[in-house]
Copies of this chain bind each other. A is one copy, B any other.
Amino acid sequence: MKMSYLKGLALAIDEAMAAEPRVILMGSRMGGHLTAQENEAFAGVLDRYAERIFMNVPIAEFGLAGAAVGASLAGGRPLLSFNIGSFMLHGFPPIVNEAPNVHYTTGGRCSAPVTYYALGGIRGGGSSQHSHRLQAMLGNVPGLQILAPATAGDAYGLLKWCLLESRNPTVFFAHTDLLLSEDEADGASPLLPVGSARISRAGHDITLIAHSVTVPRALAAADALAADHGVSAEVIDLRTLAPLDAATVVDSVRKTGHAVVVDECHKSFGVNAEIAATLAEAALSHLKAPIGRVATADVPIPYNLSLEREISVTPDKIVQGALSTLEGRASC
Contacts and interface: CB of A to CB of B under 8 A. Distances in A.
Contact of A142 (B137, B242, B298): B298
A328 B287 CA distance: 14
Contacts of A290: 280-282, 284-285
Given A92-B89, A270-B140, A281 B276 contact: yes
Given A277-B273, A277-B276, A277-B293, A132 B97 contact: yes
Contacts of A128: 97, 101, 104-105
A272 B277 contact: yes
Interface in A241-295: 242, 244, 265-266, 268-282, 284-285, 287, 289-293
Contacts of A287: 280, 284
Interface in A133-161: 136-137, 139-143
A332 interface: yes
A140 B331 CA distance: 19
A121 to B, nearest CB: 14
A128 B268 CA distance: 26
Copies in the complex: 2
A96 to B, nearest CB: 6
A23 to B, nearest CB: 26
Contacts of A266: 140-142
Closest 6 CB pairs of A and B: A139-B269, A276-B277, A280-B280, A101-B128, A273-B277, A140-B269
> Interface centre among A101, A127, A140, A302, by most B CB within 10 Å?
A140
Nearest to A132: B97
A188 interface: no
Interface residues of A, number: 59
A139 B136 CA distance: 10
A190 interface: no
16 contacts: A97-B129, A100-B300, A101-B128, A105-B128, A105-B300, A136-B269, A137-B137, A139-B269, A140-B265, A143-B299, A244-B268, A268-B274, A269-B274, A279-B280, A281-B292, A284-B291
A86 interface: yes
B89 A97 contact: yes
A93 interface: yes
A129 B142 contact: no
A273 B280 CA distance: 10
A90 interface: yes
A89 B100 CA distance: 14
Interface string A97-129: 100110011000000000000000000000111
A273 B273 CA distance: 5
